[in-house]
Amino acid sequence: MKKGIVAVILTIITIAVVPLISIMGGGRSEKSSAAVLATESVTEKNTYTVPSDENTEKSSKPVSTTKAETSTTPPKSSAAAENTYKIYDKSTKKVITVNDVDFCCGALATETEADIPTEALKAQAVAIHTYYTHLRDESRKQNKEYDFQCNSKIWEVYADKNDIKAKWGDTFEESFGAIEKAVKEVSDILVLYNDSPAMTKYFEISSGTTDSYSEIYGKDIKYLTNVATPYDTVANNYQTKQTFSSEELNSLMGKKYKDYKAADADKNVSEIKKTNYSTVLSLRVGNKEIKGYEFADILKLRSSNFNVETKEGNYIFTVYGYGENIGLSKFGSCQLAKQGSSYIEILEYYYPGTKIVSGYKI
C-alpha cells in the first residue's frame, strides 16, 4: 500500500459516512444502512473503568508504510531482560508470575475473537504487549510488589491457557493457535515514544473520532489524540439505549456519593459539557458536578459519548461507541486490516508520533 492511501480512504469514508450522524447533542440518527460493509459483530466486554495516569495533542499524521525499525540499542525499559509479568490475581488474592508470551496470548484471548484479520490481531497483540510493558516499567520504578492486577476467574485482563481451553472446547486448538501465532510473530515489536514503551490504550468501538487524552483527563500524552474512525459508526451496537427510572439513577448516585441530593427529575441531569466530538466532559447530577467518564462508570454506560432525555420520570440515554474511546479502536483496526493495512500501519495511525521498533525480544 502506498504511503497515505489509508489516510485517503478514511477521508473518503468520513465524507461519506460521518455526515450521516450529527455529532451535536441530540442530533444523531440511527446507524446508516448505506455502509453495511463494516457491520461486523463485536464481542461484549465490561464497560471501561477509569484509567491510570499518563500523557495528547492533535495530530493528522498519515499512516506510514515503513517496516518496524530494528533497534541497535535496547529500548529504555527496566523490564527488558526479565521477560515476565508479576500480576496480582484478584480471584486468588495471589501474585502470579507469567512469561511475556503466555501473558500476551492469555490477554489477547480475553479481548478479541481469533478469526479477525491477521494484521488486526497482530496490531492488538503489539498494543497489549506495549501497554502492559509500560505498566510494568512504571510499577517497578516505584518498587511495587506487582506490576498490575487481573481477575483470571472472570477473564479480566488475563486468562490462563487451561481455562481458555476449558471454555473454548473443540475450537481451542484452531482459535488459540491463531492467537499464539500472531503473538509470536510480533513478539519482539513494541510501540515506543521517547525510547520508552508507550501507554497504548485500546477499546472496542469508537464514537466516530477517538478522544484526546489531554482533553478528557487533563494530562498531555502526545500520541493519544483525536483520530478519525468513521468505520466504527456502522458497527453493530454502535448506538445503544439504556433507560433508568429516577429511583434507579438516584440510588446509583447515592451509593457513589453519600452527600448526593437529587433535584426534580426534569432538572436532575443538566449542564452537560461536551467535546467537539460529543463526548461528555462534565455534567451536573442533582447537587454533584462530575466528569463524564465517572458518570458513565456509575451507570455502566457503554461509553461517555451520550445524549439524555427525560420522559415520564425516566432517563433515556442514547450511547455511541463502546469503551474509553482513547487509542486504538479494535473494530476500526479490523476494518483497516480488511482494506489492506499492515499491523504497523494500523499502529502508526492510532498512535501518531510513535515508533514501531523491533529487536525487543520477549
pLDDT for residue 335: 97
The pTM of this model reads: 0.79
What's the length of the chain?
A: 362
pLDDT for residue 83: 84
pLDDT for residue 82: 63
- Domains of the chain, by residue range, sit at 48-235+325-358, 239-320
Tens digits of pLDDT across the chain (362 residues) = 444 445 444 544 444 444 333 333 333 433 332 233 333 333 333 333 444 443 333 333 333 334 455 443 444 444 344 689 999 999 999 999 999 999 999 999 999 989 999 999 999 999 999 999 999 999 999 999 999 999 999 999 999 999 999 999 999 999 999 999 999 999 999 999 999 999 999 999 999 999 999 999 999 999 999 999 999 999 999 999 999 999 999 999 999 999 999 999 889 999 999 999 999 999 999 999 999 999 999 999 999 999 999 999 899 999 999 999 999 999 999 999 999 999 999 999 999 999 999 976 54
Question: Which residues, in sequence order, are bridge partners of residue 311?
Answer: 314
pLDDT for residue 324: 97
pLDDT for residue 44: 36
Measured in degrees and rounded to the nearest 5, phi and psi for residue 239 equal: -110, 130
Nearest to 191 by CA among 109, 284, 71: 71
Give the up-direction half-sphere exposure of residue 13: CA atoms within 13 A in the CB hemisphere.
24
Long-range contacts of 250-259 (CB under 8 A, 24+ apart): 250/286, 252/298, 252/299, 253/285, 253/286, 253/288, 253/298, 256/298, 257/288, 259/287
C-alpha R_g of the chain: 21
**Residues 226, 354: contact at Cβ < 8 Å?**
no
**Residues 158, 107: contact at Cβ < 8 Å?**
yes
